[in-house]
């Protein structure tokens, strides 16, 4: 979906990119690429149902990279007049003349450029006003404070409406762009019982304003999650199965992304070095990447180098099918560019056909992890040790909340020891997954 105003703005940004590319060509550069991003948005935050901040942002810049005989130079400008663009291109070219040659740098190969640009439903305009966003945030807080749960206070709520545009062009003749929108509401609740305090939150995010979850449901959920954590305690040190909530499972898959990204691989800093074509998950485990999902939070027809994105299997029957490579990392590794400059595109994790409650019963005795803390992950060895909080389960029944524990293992073992994935996916992230049940982890407590 687009509007005449957005179409005109995109046309103006494309014109700016075209001017920069033409100027680079006049200077006799070997190649050039230009990217523009432009964002505007409105954010309102409240605390105890009173407005705390109202922020409006509008920014953007043009970035130019030029290549000369294997050397490159970068420059940027927020001034999009032809004169300012010419100065930025000249500055990038001057830098390129004094930088070292790198045989792996340069544009992505011309034959990889995207040629089809379907409407992926990423832009849905809504006239958001400070008053309307304030009302959403206040509704969320009011629902949390007036819920049936014992909530001491609100730690704030926010409502946001943002739109943006991206345009990319290069010397291959590629010049395309698109607009996108994103709306969100979040709420944080604080609960207290017997001198102990806990906090938790919930949120909703969508491309379309109308698709946001009712803020009162968000506030009620934040309250419920907070109160469920009251009375948390440690448990004895042990080894137990661990059920990662969808949010934490998303983080686990984030470590996979880092490990199979080209920059980690050519630097020899990945625990999955030389793992392409090997089984790193159970045989039933699958991950599909779907860049062209309509309205997807990580949908795009091309990556940030203009390379066409395609549906692909990341994991098939537990086997690692591809690395995530940009033009630079592909050349360093003597492999083919996979179109992942800028990140991943809508990963969908296959489930095992059961809901979260069934996984709790299947786990028997173990820990549900709903929060992790700290940075105790070694990307090179895969060693994993992080503070955690959640719930202790016996015989498939939640007994009490837990906190101040540490879960530890090795990421290779953790990936291999996933025994089930729930069918209730969290769709608020580029990684679309349900909860993940791991066979066993070390739990450090009392």
For the stretch 26-36, pLDDT in tens is: 999 999 999 99
What is the structure's pLDDT at 375? 86
What is the structure's pLDDT at 120? 97
If asked whether residues 46 and 178 sit together in one domain, one would say: yes
Residue with tokens 């940009």: 326
In a domain, 103, yes or no: yes
Task: Locate 144 and state its tokens.
Answer: 């949390």
In a domain, 377, yes or no: yes
In a domain, 334, yes or no: yes
In a domain, 135, yes or no: yes
Task: Locate 34 and state its tokens.
Answer: 């230009």
Domain boundary among 195, 228, 261: 228
Q: What percent of the chain is predicted at pLDDT more than 90?
A: 93
Task: Locate 180 and state its tokens.
Answer: 């996108």
d(CA 159, CA 132): 9
Domain boundary among 228, 253, 280: 228
Domain boundary among 170, 197, 228: 228
Mean local confidence (pLDDT), 4-22: 92
Q: Beta strands 312-316 and 196-206: pairing type? A: unpaired
Q: Where are the alpha helices (DSSP H) in 267-323?
A: none
**392 contacts 357 by C-beta, under 8 angstroms:** no
CA geometry: angle at 64 spanning 61 and 67, to 5°? 170
What is the structure's pLDDT at 305? 98
pLDDT in tens, 149-174: 678 899 999 999 999 999 999 999 99
d(CA 318, CA 180): 34
Q: Report residue 5's pLDDT band, with 50, 70 and 90 as the boundaries.
A: confident
d(CA 135, CA 161): 13
If asked whether residues 265 and 369 sit together in one domain, one would say: yes
- Split into its structural domains, the chain has a count of 2
If asked whether residues 335 and 428 sit together in one domain, one would say: yes
**344 contacts 325 by C-beta, under 8 angstroms:** no
In a domain, 120, yes or no: yes
pLDDT in tens, 391-444: 999 999 999 999 999 999 999 999 999 999 999 999 999 999 999 999 999 999
Q: Report residue 2's pLDDT band, with 50, 70 and 90 as the boundaries.
A: low
If asked whether residues 177 and 65 sit together in one domain, one would say: yes
What is the structure's pLDDT at 4? 64
If asked whether residues 199 and 345 sit together in one domain, one would say: no
Backbone angles phi, psi at 396, to 5 degrees: 75, 10
- CA dihedral sign of residues 339, 340, 342, 344: positive
d(CA 20, CA 118): 26
Where in the sequence is the domain holding 327, given as residue range(s)? 238-444
CATH number for the domain spanning 129: value is 3.30.2290.10
**409 contacts 441 by C-beta, under 8 angstroms:** yes
Q: What one-character DSSP code corresponds to residue 110?
A: G
What is the structure's pLDDT at 85? 97
If asked whether residues 208 and 347 sit together in one domain, one would say: no
In a domain, 233, yes or no: no
If asked whether residues 204 and 251 sit together in one domain, one would say: no
**406 contacts 423 by C-beta, under 8 angstroms:** no
Mean pLDDT of the chain: 95
If asked whether residues 138 and 224 sit together in one domain, one would say: yes
In a domain, 340, yes or no: yes
What is the structure's pLDDT at 148? 66
DSSP state string for 157-193: EEEEEEEEEEEEEETTS-EEEEEEEEEEEEEEEEEEE
d(CA 244, CA 248): 6
What is the structure's pLDDT at 367? 97
Q: What percent of the chain is predicted at pLDDT more than 70?
A: 99
d(CA 47, CA 68): 54
Strands (E) in 69-143, as ranges, are: 71-77
What's the pTM value of the predicted model, to 2 decimals? Answer: 0.94
Q: Report residue 50's pLDDT band, with 50, 70 and 90 as the boundaries.
A: very high
If asked whether residues 334 and 436 sit together in one domain, one would say: yes
Backbone angles phi, psi at 330, to 5 degrees: -65, -45
Flag whether pLDDT at 1 surpasses 80. no
If asked whether residues 354 and 399 sit together in one domain, one would say: yes
Q: Report the 10 Å Cβ neighbour count for 59.
A: 11
Helices (H) and strands (E) in the chain, counts: 9, 17
In a domain, 346, yes or no: yes
Distance of alpha carbon 376 from the chain centroid: 20
What is the structure's pLDDT at 33? 98
DSSP state string for 23-74: HHHHTT-SEEEEEEEEEEEEEEEEETTEEEEEEEEEEEEEEEEEEETTEEEE
What CA–CA distances, in Å, run from 265 to 109, 273, 326, 381? 21, 6, 12, 13
Mean local confidence (pLDDT), 221-234: 94
Looking only at Cα atoms, what is the longest distance across the chain?
Answer: 73
pLDDT in tens, 34-47: 999 999 999 999 99
If asked whether residues 38 and 121 sit together in one domain, one would say: yes
Mean local confidence (pLDDT), 100-105: 94
**167 contacts 14 by C-beta, under 8 angstroms:** yes
Q: Report residue 6's pLDDT band, with 50, 70 and 90 as the boundaries.
A: confident
Task: Locate 24 and state its tokens.
Answer: 């680079």
3-state helix/strand/coil string of 276-289: CCCECCCCCCCEEE
What is the structure's pLDDT at 150? 77
Flag whether pLDDT at 147 surpasses 80. no
Mean local confidence (pLDDT), 254-266: 97
Mean local confidence (pLDDT), 325-350: 97
What is the structure's pLDDT at 254? 96
If asked whether residues 199 and 287 sit together in one domain, one would say: no
What is the structure's pLDDT at 7? 86
């Amino acid at each position: 979906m687009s509007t005449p105003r957005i179409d005109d703005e995109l046309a103006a940004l494309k014109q700016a990119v075209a001017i920069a590319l033409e100027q680079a060509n006049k200077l006799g550069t070997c190649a050039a690429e230009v990217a523009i991003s432009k964002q505007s948005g409105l954010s309102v935050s409240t605390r105890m149902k009173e407005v705390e901040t109202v922020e409006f942002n509008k920014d953007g810049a043009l970035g130019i990279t030029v290549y000369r005989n294997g050397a490159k130079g970068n420059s940027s400008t927020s001034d999009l007049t032809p004169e300012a663009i010419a100065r930025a291109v000249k500055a990038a070219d001057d830098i390129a003349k004094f930088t070292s040659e790198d045989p792996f740098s340069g544009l992505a190969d011309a034959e990889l450029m995207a040629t089809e640009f379907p409407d992926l439903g990423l832009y849905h305009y809504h006239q958001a006003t400070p008053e309307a966003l304030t009302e959403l945030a206040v509704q969320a807080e009011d629902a949390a404070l007036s819920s049936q749960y014992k909530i001491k206070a609100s730690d704030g709520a926010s409502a946001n409406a943002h739109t943006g545009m991206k345009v990319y062009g290069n010397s291959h003749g590629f010049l395309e762009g698109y607009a996108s929108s994103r709306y969100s509401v979040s709420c944080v609740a604080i609960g207290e019982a017997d001198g102990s305090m806990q906090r938790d939150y919930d949120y909703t995010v969508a491309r379309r304003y109308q698709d946001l979850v009712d803020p009162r449901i968000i506030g009620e959920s934040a309250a419920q999650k907070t109160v469920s954590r009251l009375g948390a305690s440690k448990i004895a040190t042990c080894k137990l199965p661990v059920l990662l909530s969808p949010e934490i499972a998303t983080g686990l898959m984030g470590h996979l992304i880092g490990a199979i990204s080209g920059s980690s691989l050519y630097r020899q800093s990945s625990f999955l070095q030389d793992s392409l074509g090997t089984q790193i998950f159970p045989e039933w485990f699958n991950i599909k990447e779907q860049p062209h999902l309509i309205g997807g939070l990580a949908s795009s027809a091309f990556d940030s180098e203009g390379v066409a994105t395609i549906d692909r299997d990341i994991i098939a029957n537990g086997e690692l099918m591809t690395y995530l490579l940009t033009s630079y990392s592909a050349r360093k590794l003597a492999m083919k560019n996979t179109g992942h400059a800028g990140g991943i595109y809508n990963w969908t994790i296959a489930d095992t056909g059961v809901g979260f409650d069934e996984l709790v019963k299947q786990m028997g005795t173990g820990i549900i992890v709903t929060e992790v803390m700290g940075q105790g992950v070694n990307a090179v060895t895969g060693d994993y040790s992080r503070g955690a909080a959640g719930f202790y389960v016996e015989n498939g029944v939640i007994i009490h909340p837990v906190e101040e524990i540490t879960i530890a293992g090795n990421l290779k073992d953790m990936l291999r020891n996933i025994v089930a994935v729930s069918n209730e996916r969290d769709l608020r992230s580029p990684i679309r997954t349900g909860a993940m049940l791991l066979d066993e982890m070390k739990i450090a407590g009392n």
